[in-house]
Amino acid sequence: MNKAQYKAIQTAIARLQKLHSELVMISDRNAVQAAIDQLRCLVDGNGK
């Protein structure tokens, strides 16, 4: 993963976290949290 990809993923995580904090429905929050977790796995490597 190059620096541009890494930065793009970090930006996406930040935006998703902001969205997550604004959501009310638990199901929506869970879906956004799952997306955040998947992106973090990409950044951390190995896609665990």
Give the predicted TM-score (pTM) of the model.
Answer: 0.77
| pLDDT above 70 coverage of the chain, percent | 94
**pLDDT averaged over the chain?**
91
Query: Is pLDDT of 48 > 50?
Result: no
Instruction: List, for residues 17-38, the tens digit of each pLDDT value.
Output: 999 999 999 999 999 999 999 9
Residue 45: pLDDT band with limits 50, 70, 90: confident
The domain limits of the chain are: 3-44
Query: Is pLDDT of 8 > 80?
Result: yes
Euclidean distance between CA atoms 46 and 27, whole angstroms: 27
